Amino acid sequence: METSSSSMEEEAVNLRADGEEEHGHEPDPENNSLHEPLLRRSPTLTSNSMAMVGAKVSYIESLDYEINENDLFKHDWRSRSSVQVLQYVVLKWTLAFLVGLLTGVIASLINLAIENIAGLKMLLVAEYMTGFAYFTGANLGLTLVAAALCVQFAPTAAGPGIPEIKAYLNGVDTPNMFGVSTLIVKIIGSIAAVSAGLDLGKEGPLVHIGSCLAYLLGQGGSDKHKLKWRWLRYFKNDRDRRDLITCGASSGVCAAFRSPVGGVLFALEEIASWWRSALLWRTFFSTAVVVVVLRAFMEYCNSGRCGLFGRGGLILFDVSGVTVSYHAMDLLPVTVIGIIGGVLGGLYNHLLHKVLRIYSLINEKGRMAKLLLSLGVSLFTSVCLYSLPFLATCSPCDPSIDAACPTTGLTGNFKQFNCPDGYYNDLASLLHATNDDAVRNIFSTSTPTEFRPLSLLIFFALYCILGLFTFGIAVPSGLFLPIILMGSAYGRLLGLAMGSYTSIDQGLYAVLGAAALMAGSMRMTVSLCVIFLELTNNLSLLPITMLVLLISKTVGDGINPSIYDIILELKGLPFLDAKPEPWMRNLTVGELAAAKPSLVCLQGIEKVSRVVEVLKSTCHNGFPVVDQEVPSPVGMPLAVTELHGLVLRAHLITILKKKWFLTEKRRTQDWEVRERFTSVDLADKGDKIEELVLTEEEKEMYIDLHPFTNTTPYTVVETMSVAKAVVLFRQVALRHLLIVPKYQGAGISPVMGILTRQDLRAHNIINAFPHIAKRREEKGKSNES
């Protein structure tokens, strides 16, 4: 029988910069250009799992979300008492509670730190004649702190982290994304970067922070320092950890917008690839805990004990007391807002893609280049924020408004800046404030003459430029706030242009513009609609908000993918989309198996030397276990070959590490295995075959693989279409999919091959089948003609 390798996605072969193979050397972390494909491709379906993780070329592999039903798991499941089952359920809800509690506390502290640091900076600008020097120096210092921490200690803390979380929940293990160092740098870096006035938000980092907390709570202690919490032993699997990280991501969105239902829907619509009703309840419970914590901090801060500002940095736009009325004629400008949002969102995604490619060329020069790039963007931002308000004319304060006018240094809509008493600078009200306060100011209602058209136009143009240049530098950053600021500016401009022809307030136009641009760039609808409704606290906005989101998403989908999909592609993370390509229905999984190298199988009772040889010669994660010459069923004259199941690489290394060997070739009894192994032992990962030392005598002994083999792997018939296999693979969250022949019988191998994530990716299939690419090109030319 022919043998072959299973998991082509885990074939981690080091590559030279020129593309040649070289074993035993680490790739240069700084030497990577996004002009080169991050996932190396070859004429067959064999592909290397390399991706950009934290601006560094790293090896990646898939996660084992499938339940491994081997003999040890079955015994453990049968032997669990009702008390242990209750303990498992209680611990799940306890961890969900802790995730929400810690996320809410950390988010509140981050918000307060940002507002107080930014408030102190604004007071210095207003107090001294050399305000520009203080303003620029403070911003450069804060940016240096954030960038230095990311570059030196945790490169994976840079950026929002949402694309990597999305890939993790899709089944891709991105290295070092949820470690302690990443969490600490993310918290401190977010405070410093947002306080520095950079055009970025803390919303994306909060999602990453919540996910890091969930991951660390669920792993049961530090693997590096050998500290384990035994009461969390049942959570030492990727499946339960995935559920916790989903709760953490939902809690992060809730902490950013004070939107519990929106956080749950964000995880369901945008992040999670796999969902079930029990997970819905736990994510909702986590977000409810976050809201309680945020409300407690807000009540505490209302007494003035939280420093210079005291609102907690939450984007609050409560218009529950505002009467929202609109007529049939108002649907035209609302439709225009949606169309503009879709077009601008698609254009923003396209330009940001180009900027990120340019930044990759700069970042590959080394750490100093990353720091200088971040400081350069900070300097440019500071110059623009400080100098542009001088272009705006001073406006007289309206005595009919109850708000303080003008204000100096503190929060408010009417910043005095360079104006005399009784006058305010409307552009300074937007630029000399934290991003959250800028959103409140531009969203303000019943202020039709507060902002001049020229000021709004300058604000819109500036944040379009800063939004492109800021994202991608080596600091924790989020996309929500920059997009909200851009969208609200053009929305308010349109409301100002409509004047008396519309009954919708200018502040509501700003809200609709922000929602439209977010849907046009991120392509979210349901979760965004709920988030904005929870922010505004007014159900009257529901119909027009739904209309704007549907239009902008439809227009954006016709231009390019969402911004997160673009980032996933740039980083080289093998994300599996929910919808397969149409041409995949013309291929079968049997044809894919034929395009792969021959399959490596193991026998049920295997020699130690054979197992070691297979592990050292391949980097695959799963191997079919086949029993030859099994007694034939009744009516069959010859012996047949049986597919016993699939054994994982980590389990083989655990067996070798414990040296559970047999002196003779025989099957073991159940009690023999349970004396040395438990299901918890098989959950440990990270050991390498190179670290094991075996004598020649031990290599001549045998291993019984039957107790460790998953006897119920997912299998498909060789005639199944690739499109159907992609849907099955993603919906069930698989790592391996075995291909069995259509006809069974003596002399026929029971397994033809194994499909993994990399085998089902569109570009890998096209490289292995060039005729598909040619047909697509010919079809495209015929459509153009």
Given strand 753-755, what is the order of strands in its sheet? Answer: 715-717, 737-740, 753-755
Q: Is residue 586 pLDDT above 90, yes or no? A: no
Over residues 427-482, the pLDDT tens digits come to 888 888 777 778 888 888 777 778 889 999 999 999 999 999 999 899 999 889 89
Cβ atoms 42, 763 nearer than 8 A: no
Better pLDDT: 619 or 650:
650
Q: Which residues pair with 58 in a beta bridge?
A: 51
Better pLDDT: 403 or 261:
261
Whose tokens are 């306060």? That residue is 437
Which sequence spans correspond to the domains of the chain?
Answer: 4-60+773-784, 71-302
Indicate the pLDDT class of residue 135, thresholds 50, 70 and 90. confident
Q: Indicate the SS3 state at residue 699.
A: helix
189: Cα within 13 Å, side-chain hemisphere: 34
Q: Which residues pair with 201 in a beta bridge?
A: 478
Whole-number pLDDT of residue 246: 95
Q: Is residue 672 pLDDT above 70, yes or no? A: yes
Over residues 45-54, the pLDDT tens digits come to 655 566 666 6
**Helices first, then strands: H and E counts in the chain:** 27, 14
Indicate the pLDDT class of residue 13, thresholds 50, 70 and 90. very low
Cβ atoms 173, 61 nearer than 8 A: yes
User: How do 61-62 and 172-173 pair as beta strands?
Assistant: antiparallel
Q: Which of 583, 579, 584, 588 minimizes the C-alpha distance to 779?
A: 583
For the full predicted model, state whether its pTM sits above 0.85.
yes
* Beta strands per DSSP E along 498-657: 602-603, 605-607, 622-630, 640-648
Over residues 337-394, the pLDDT tens digits come to 999 999 999 999 999 999 999 998 888 888 899 999 999 999 999 999 988 988 888 8
Whose tokens are 């604004």? That residue is 122
Whole-number pLDDT of residue 131: 77
Cβ atoms 414, 424 nearer than 8 A: yes
Q: Indicate the SS3 state at residue 417.
A: coil
CA distance 566 to 472: 13
Q: Indicate the SS3 state at residue 58.
A: strand
CA distance 445 to 316: 13
**Per mean pLDDT, which range of 65-69, 708-712, 777-781 is the poorest?**
777-781
Better pLDDT: 251 or 115:
251
DSSP per position, 656-693: HHHT--BSSS-PPPHHHHHHH--TTGGG-----GGG--
Q: How far is CA 193 from CA 21, 114, 272, 477, 507, in A?
A: 40, 9, 28, 8, 28
The CATH topology of domain 71-302 is Clc chloride channel (1.10.3080)
Whole-number pLDDT of residue 126: 57
511: Cα within 13 Å, side-chain hemisphere: 30
Q: Which of 298, 318, 252 minimizes the C-alpha distance to 112?
A: 298
